[in-house]
Amino acid sequence: MSLAIVCGFLFALIWLLFYLPESISSLSHSLLNYTRPLDDKLASSPLSKARLSRGTKLTSGLNLASFQLRDHHNRVFNNQALKGRWHLISYGYTSCPDICPNTLLLLTQLENKLKSGNKRPDLHFLFYTIDPARDSAEKLALYVAYFSENLTGIRAEEKDKARAFEQDLGIKAQVNNNSDNGDYQVSHGGALYLINPDGQLQAVFQPLKDPFGNLAFDIDVLYRDYLWIRENLG
């Protein structure tokens, strides 16, 4: 065996013994903290000094074009219904297997966290279905009841009537129901939209993406960003 091969073998053995464990530990730490982008210093900073992590605050609220939807009680839900209190809008469809229920469970956590700390708990939650053809008012009522009494389902009686509402918020969704066997595919984004008491779009929150490509919100990041916006308006 040549001297070069022996030296190469010894070098590889030394690397395995001393450097590989450290590399694995570093990689594991990165993966575990991927959904926690705020460092310890920021996490412990006073809220008024924290910067937004996953949200975009609009300097002035964006007026929404006139729209008319229905809530899960089949009552009219329009621009006027957004006025007088803060709202946080999520969207999806009731047959969604993962993203929608996970997001709504997280919003329930956010609601409980705000109430327990008595910090800006005057927030109402809305779930807008992008599949009104299958999500009737009755089905929507059963669905939102699983999550919170402070959650209202909203839908469009006709998809065309909701076009301006979706465009103003920036809702991204596609429903493909042209399959011959009756199946259909739905794809959509995962942003959350904060509406101020004037019925204007005040901020947009974007989900994190984990190393596997899945979209999800971090409850602590969302909580901090929401309170930062409420404390720093104007």
DSSP 83: B
In this prediction, residues 59-79 reach a mean pLDDT of: 92
pLDDT at 108 over 80: yes
The confidence band for 36, taking pLDDT boundaries of 50, 70 and 90, is very low
Higher pLDDT, 144 or 185: 144
Q: Which of 17-26, 46-55, 198-207 has the highest mean pLDDT?
A: 198-207
- Are the CB atoms for 31 and 214 separated by under 8 Å? no
pLDDT confidence bin for 110, thresholds 50/70/90: very high
How much of the chain, in percent, has pLDDT values that exceed 90?
42
| Residue 176: per-residue pLDDT | 72
Q: Give the Cα separation of 53 and 148 in Å (integer).
A: 26
Q: What are phi and psi of 88, to 5 degrees?
A: -125, 120
What are the E-state strand segments in 28-132? 55-62, 68-71, 76-78, 86-92, 123-129
pLDDT tens figures, 210-232 = 777 777 889 999 999 999 899 88
User: Binning pLDDT at 50, 70 and 90, where does residue 52 land?
Assistant: low
Res 159 pLDDT > 60: yes
Note the helical H segments in the chain: 3-18, 20-32, 40-43, 99-117, 137-145, 163-169, 219-231
Beta carbons of 17 and 24 less than 8 angstroms apart: no
Q: Contact, 197 vs 87, CB < 8 A?
A: no
pLDDT attached to residue 1: 52
